[in-house]
Amino acid sequence: MKYILEGDEKELGRVLREQRIRIGRGLIKITPISGTLVHEDYALKAIEAQVKELTDTLALKDGQIESLTSERDSLRARMTEMEASGSMPETDEKEVDMKDSKTLNITDSNNLPEDDSMSIDMDNVNPSVNTSGKKTTKKK
């Protein structure tokens, strides 16, 4: 079993050295602990540390939000100023290195002779006629 010993440092040292406990005189307080029991002081210290850490993180995030908000507002003001003065470019013209450009030769490889062409009158097409040469059957 584990215990938490509380008291004056000198008195605790003497008790441990002399191997006797002075509980009745109020010099030492012994608290038995189990695996699930946490002393209130330790729990409070842990919670306070977590609260401080979260507060610091929150302050950092608030600072980031403020800086991003001010940056957004300044960019909006600059855009409004540019639109009002008419100095905003119509197109986005960027200079591109010639190394990045490629020349493509586009040729039509499907040159068909004129006598292969034919026209179809779509008004006189019968949808029930099979022109593919395959047998078709209707499912009932």
pLDDT score, position 113: 67
**Helix ranges, 7-138 (H):** 9-18, 40-85
Give the DSSP H/E element, type plus range, for residue 127: none
pLDDT score, position 62: 95
pLDDT score, position 70: 95
State which residues of the chain have pLDDT below 50.
none
pLDDT score, position 20: 61
Amino acid, res. 107: T
- How many Å apart are CA 64 and CA 69, to the nearest integer? 8
Enumerate residues 6+ apart whose C-beta is below 8 A from 58.
none
